Amino acid sequence: MFFEIGVLAAGVAPGYLLRKNKKAYKPVSQATMLSIYALLFVLGARIGGDDAIFDAIGQLGAQALIIGFACTMGSAMVAVLAGRFFRDQFRPAQAAAGPSESDQTESQRKNGLCKALCGSVIILGFFSLGLALSRLGILPPAAYEGDMTLYMLWAMLFMVGMGVGFDIRALLVVKELGLRVLLVPLLTIAGTALGAFIASLFIAQPFGDCLTVGIGLGYYSLSSVVVTELGGAALGSIALLANLFRELFCLLATPLIARGLGPLAPVAAAAAPGMDTCLPIIAQSTNERFVIIALFNGLALTMLVPLLIPLVITAFS
């Protein structure tokens, strides 16, 4: 966790040194998107190549899918409702991008939505391709096993750091927000609880179990282990898949969420993975200020997950 933050911080310096070279912006942005596509391809290949996870998708996937989606969108919607507290962070992004939303034509808005949708379709395509190739045995395990995903993640975080360096003023966002920045993890948790409640209305799981699964906040590796130990293997499997789905939802749909619900919504939706895996796509879909907010939010939630899961299980046992 701290190493990943260090990699991102290391990218700030070269970005700052190149901030006056406008020609450097586009290659960094393109390289970031290409690395996102590569990471999704490898992630799909890993899921397709892991028989245990793939089989679990068929057995428990429906419940996990509903919980993961509900918790993701619950956090996004709560963030929208509280967006007025962060309105001053939205305006710089609009000024940098050009005309305000009210000045844009209907054609421009449709073009922006189509662009966001196409981006999500391309991302889904790379993930599906990796999944299919590994299941068919066309892709050798050496292509997706080992530390390749980790190296890709480090490369992405370095380039995101360069993006922050291009606009170093973004680092001042935490100071500008003050105590408001603490609202972001609280909103994310509240939205997750709301999503878990909604999910419990549609599946054969009580609210306590849905909240136990959802409160993993996208941190699927740790949450699945803790939930398995404290709540049983079946619930642990759902926790693994639901939080994995949450990360995938954000990787696939962040352009659409940011476009439709505003730049704070994908930060809350991503939750813990917003500090690493989902950070590059958040950077591409929002601006450097929300990169810093996502980093803070992800770090805070990552540290809270090991405390929240036992607390929820104890409260509902």
Lowest mean pLDDT across 111-120, 264-273, 285-294: 111-120
- Report field, pTM of the whole predicted structure over 0.75: no
**Site of tokens 């034509």:** 105
Calculate the alpha carbon distances from 227 to 103, 146, 223, 269, 307 in Å: 49, 26, 6, 21, 12
Instruction: Please name which of 115, 32, 13 lies closest in space to residue 282, comparing C-alpha atoms.
Output: 32
What ranges in the chain are assigned the alpha helix state H?
Answer: 2-17, 25-49, 51-81, 87-97, 106-135, 148-166, 173-177, 183-200, 207-214, 220-231, 233-261, 264-270, 279-285, 288-316
Greatest mean pLDDT range, 119-128, 129-138, 143-152, 204-213 = 204-213
CA distance 179 to 185: 12
The pLDDT value recorded for residue 171 is 60
- Give me the pLDDT at residue 146, please: 66
Dist. CA 43–CA 269, nearest whole Å: 19
pLDDT for 7 equals 77
What is the rounded CA–CA span in Å between residue 38 and residue 160? Answer: 16
Q: CA of 307: how far to CAs of 183, 231, 275, in Å?
A: 18, 15, 19
**pLDDT grade for 193, boundaries at 50, 70 and 90:** very high
Cα–Cα distance for residue pair 203/313, rounded to 1 Å: 19
Residue 149 has pLDDT above 70, yes or no: no
Most confident range, picked from 65-74, 180-189, 225-234 = 65-74
- Between 267 and 9, whose confidence is greater? 267
Per DSSP, the three-state class of 218 is: coil
Give the pLDDT confidence score for residue 10 in this predicted structure.
Answer: 85
Supply 247's token pair.
């990360």
Q: What is the pLDDT of residues 64-121, one digit of tens each?
A: 999 999 999 999 999 888 776 666 555 544 333 334 444 445 555 556 556 555 665 7
Per-residue confidence (pLDDT) for residue 103, from 0 to 100: 45
More confident residue, 105 or 188: 188
- Residue 291 and residue 293: Cα distance in Å, rounded? 5
| Among the listed residues 303, 268, 300, the one whose alpha carbon sits nearest the alpha carbon of residue 282 | 268
* CA neighbor of 69 nearest in space, from 223, 280, 210: 210
- Quote the mean pLDDT of the chain: 78
Total residues found in the chain within this entry: 317
Q: How confident is the model at residue 306 (pLDDT cuts 50, 70, 90)?
A: confident
Residue with the bigger pLDDT between 259 and 120: it is 259
Structure token digits, residue 231: 């709540």
Ramachandran class of 305: left when φ > 0, alpha when ψ lies in -120 to 50, beta otherwise: alpha
Question: Contact, 198 vs 65, CB < 8 A?
Answer: no
State both tokens at 6: 């260090």
**Tokens 């209907």 — which residue?**
106
Longest Cα–Cα distance of the chain, Å, equals 58
| Residue 211 Cα to chain centre, angstroms | 19
Determine the pLDDT at residue 174. Answer: 64
The pLDDT value recorded for residue 155 is 78
Structure-model confidence comparison of residues 202 and 225, the more confident one: 202
